Chains A and B, each alone.
Chain A
Amino acid sequence: MLYREAGQFKTNYVADQAIFPIRQDRIGIAVILLIAFVAIPYFGDDFLLQAVMIPFLIYALASIGLNLLTGYTGLLSLGTGAFMGVGAYACYKLTSVWPDVNIIVWIVCSGFFAAAVGVLFGLPSLRIKGFYLAIATLAAQFFLQWCFVRIPWLVNYNVSNAIEVPQRKFLDMIVTGPSATPIARYLIVLTIVVAMTWIASNIVHGRIGRMWMAIRDQDIAAELMGIRLLRTKLLAFAVSSFYCGVAGAMLVFLWYGGAEADTFNINQSFFVLFMVIIGGLGSLLGSYLGAALIFGLPILLRILPDALGMPMHSATIEHLSFLVVGALIIFFLIVEPHGLARMWQIAKQKLRVWPFPY
């Protein structure tokens, strides 16, 4: 009933190939954007913006980045955390050398540094696949983290070896540093994430995305069809690392407000990888769903006992949340290995024929 398509005729190819061919979807996405851009900043409190929405969006962007590489091109990477770190450190260096340039320009530009590093560590991907590539990217993770710890130049010789985010303005509005309001940060994060999702969606639906998917499905066949493997794979590494780099820069500048090298450790990589797997490989929507589940569930579990009037000790909740999240991951992998995005597809299919399924 919700998805009654009767009467929606497509009279040209453009309409037929649209990303959201059904009118209800277009309305839905408009409503979501309206909520995100208007309702949440208007009604949300600091906790919602600062501790829930901003991190969720940043992780969603990182998941999109990893999804482009792992989900669309089929190259498994365990270096996501390190690539995010490259973005963060690049942004910090850029803004300390040229403090007058708008910080948002630097946040986006830091992605190029991450992309360059990503390409470098993506070079082995022509020869090796699967587990072996995972090990190669793991090397990137360890090597880069070593650099973050050992090269004091990266943190401007800070005694604590940490990035301390300076105050920067955008249109006379403080957007980084402690005086920045959560609303300002949130709107910037949201704008960047929405814009980059739109670009990602165009990439994966276009020629490049098809090349990536061809390689993922059967790389020899792709090569025979004239797709140049090295270039395409490196392009995937570059675009993926670009996204991760921007996410990393936002994580430090618009969320944490400062970071130690340990922020970008192997756990960060796994965290994003879980989001991609749970959300659904090869789906942009899945990246959002995965980030919401993996990041949001522990927060919900932490708030839930109090909200239900069952005060529980904080450490008990923490153990409980480990248990529940772990169990859920296994549960999802068994029941729906294609992730939350596939579940949404099934649900949509059912809604289309409801209430008279055939």
Chain B
Amino acid sequence: MRLKGLMIGAVLGVVAGVPALAPAALAQDSIYVPLFSYRTGPFAGSGIPIANGMSDYLNMLNARDGGIGGVKLAVEECETGYDTKKGVECYESTKAKNPVITNPYSTGITLQLIPKAAVDKIPVLSMAYGLSASADGNNFPWVFNPPATYWDGLSIIMKYIAQKEGGFDKLKGKTIGYIFFDGGYGREPIPLLEQFAKKYGFTTKLYPVPAAEMQNQSAQWLNVRRDKPAWMIMWGWGAMNPTAVREAARTNFPMDKFIGIWWSGGEDDARPAGDGGKGYLTLNFHGVGSNYPALKDIEKHVLGKSQTEKEKFAENLYNRGVYNSVLIAEAIRNAQAITKKKVVTGEDVRKGLESLHITDARWKELGLPGFAAPIVNVSCADHNGHHAAYVQQWDGKKWVKTTDWITPMKEEVRPLLEAASKDYVEKNTGWPKRTEACTDNK
């Protein structure tokens, strides 16, 4: 009976305690940067290296330069488990601490936060994920998704395929398979894929992989074997990627005709397939490996103290996280330059993101020479920039860059994007008109 008494007390404590412990506000002499990460759950395989890269770079800035412009960054991770519900909870709990930027790191969470961004005056940086249409700065002044949208990615893949086949006219009559995560993320490219199919006369086969079946794709790959597509394109994430690569190898699909989006290119996605994974292709928009001064600085200042495993340092997705944090840091730096303030707010960082301008020379200054294509096209109306990416190939041990930078077909993507953005605004009655003044420096 005493046990029960204890339990009753504990339960009452929980019920009474939840409201009492609202998060306390942070000190005002730092810039608060929350990072939504997922080190747990079915997507942890992809989430851990990205979370490591993101927090390591920002912590390195703190250790090496004392923050940005002399102001320390208060970096805090919030665990979402890739779960929209927890993501929204993270957003609400971090909102009270005056964040200058939100990194949702999940398309589902991004979709929830897009409408909130304008209301709460916190810009959303969904780096090469999220809603493609949100690249339209006139309708989405608070959302940024550089360096490229999913549609850009698909057009780059189409260019690559055409190049390998010997021209777009050679695509006629061919079959191209598309295996994708059956959710918002994987479905987004389908309209553009169908448009390409009509234009170039190839047929598409769609192989959706439901979230629950990520690790069991035998049915999809059985169909692939039956349909014999000339090329396979993949939009996968988390546990779906290594499974797909393994299944492709098992069905003897030619790996050099299997190309994934940049989110399907982790080392741990290709590695489990063993020798069978050799030749697998994915897009990428930044360098791999630690051969950059900035990464050496991370090695010196942060590595060992952070959660990063030494052998996974500077792998592809880790560097993706670093890339993401460079964008955050540059936006904050721009915001400081524009407003002449040290401690900037979300509104200032929005301006900083809109004037994002990282030339080759600037990449070099950042200690990342040749790390990525210059980001020069972000503007008031274009919150994405539609920058170039390249194709990399798995050689059994590491990723090897096999092509030069390929620019997306902006002329195909932009009309589709603007139509989608218009559609979004029309369906969301009461969508606020842009009132923010342009701050691009061009």
Q: Mark B238-256, 1 if CB is under 8 A from A, else 0.
A: 0000000000000000000
Specify the main secondary structure of chain A where it touches its partner.
helix
9 closest A-B pairs by CB: A167-B430, A315-B39, A178-B115, A160-B184, A51-B92, A314-B79, A318-B79, A303-B21, A314-B77
Q: Mark A173-191, 1 if CB is under 8 A from B, else 0.
A: 0100111000000000000
Q: Say how far B306's CB is from chain A's closest CB, in angstroms.
A: 10
**Known contacts A47-B95, A347-B8; A164/B23 CB under 8 A:** no
Q: Say how far A146's CB is from chain B's closest CB, in angstroms.
A: 8
> What residues of A have a CB within 8 angstroms of the CB of B328 in the complex?
none
Check if B427 sits within 8 Å of A44, measured CB to CB. Answer: no
Which bucket holds chain B's interface residue count? 35 or more
Check if A149 sits within 8 Å of B210, measured CB to CB. Answer: yes
Check if A260 sits within 8 Å of B79, measured CB to CB. Answer: no
> What residues of B have a CB within 8 angstroms of the CB of A256 in the complex?
84-85, 88, 112
Check if B40 sits within 8 Å of A315, measured CB to CB. Answer: yes
Check if B40 sits within 8 Å of A318, measured CB to CB. Answer: yes
Q: Say how far B434's CB is from chain A's closest CB, in angstroms.
A: 15
> What residues of B have a CB within 8 angstroms of the CB of A297 in the complex?
14
CB-contact partner of A296 in B14, B78, B188, under 8 A:
B14
> What residues of B have a CB within 8 angstroms of the CB of A156 in the complex?
427
Q: Kindly list 11 other residue pairs between chains A and B, CB separation below 8 angstroms, not including A51-B92, A159-B133, A255-B88.
A: A46-B92, A50-B92, A162-B184, A167-B428, A167-B430, A177-B430, A178-B115, A256-B84, A257-B112, A265-B212, A336-B7
CB-contact partner of B4 in A99, A261, A304, A336, under 8 A:
A336
**Known contacts A46-B95, A159-B191, A314-B79; A164/B184 CB under 8 A:** no
Check if B39 sits within 8 Å of A318, measured CB to CB. Answer: yes
Centre residue among B39, B132, B133, B191 by max chain A CB count within 10 A? B39
Q: Say how far B346's CB is from chain A's closest CB, in angstroms.
A: 15
Asked if A219 is an interface residue, CB under 8 A from chain B, the answer is no
Q: Tally inter-chain residue pairs, CB-CB below 8 A.
A: 166
Check if A262 sits within 8 Å of B108, measured CB to CB. Answer: yes
**Known contacts A263-B84, A303-B23, A318-B40; A164/B96 CB under 8 A:** no
Q: Say how far B273's CB is from chain A's closest CB, in angstroms.
A: 27
CB-contact partner of A258 in B15, B77, B112, B182, under 8 A:
B112
Check if B19 sits within 8 Å of A164, measured CB to CB. Answer: no
Q: Mark B199-222, 1 if CB is under 8 A from A, else 0.
A: 000000000101110000000000
Check if B14 sits within 8 Å of A292, measured CB to CB. Answer: yes
Check if B131 sits within 8 Å of A52, measured CB to CB. Answer: no
Check if B11 sits within 8 Å of A160, measured CB to CB. Answer: no
How far apart are the CA atoms of A167 and B119 in the complex, in Å?
A: 13
Check if A47 sits within 8 Å of B429, measured CB to CB. Answer: no
Asked if A78 is an interface residue, CB under 8 A from chain B, the answer is no
> What is A's interface to B at a CB cutoff of 8 Å?
40, 44-48, 50-53, 55, 96, 99, 149, 156, 158-162, 164, 166-167, 174, 177-179, 255-263, 265-266, 289, 292-293, 296-297, 299-300, 302-304, 306-307, 313-315, 317-319, 322, 332, 335-336, 340, 343-344, 346-347
CB-contact partner of B182 in A55, A149, A255, under 8 A:
A149
Check if B96 sits within 8 Å of A45, measured CB to CB. Answer: yes
> What residues of B have a CB within 8 angstroms of the CB of A314 in the complex?
37, 39, 76-79
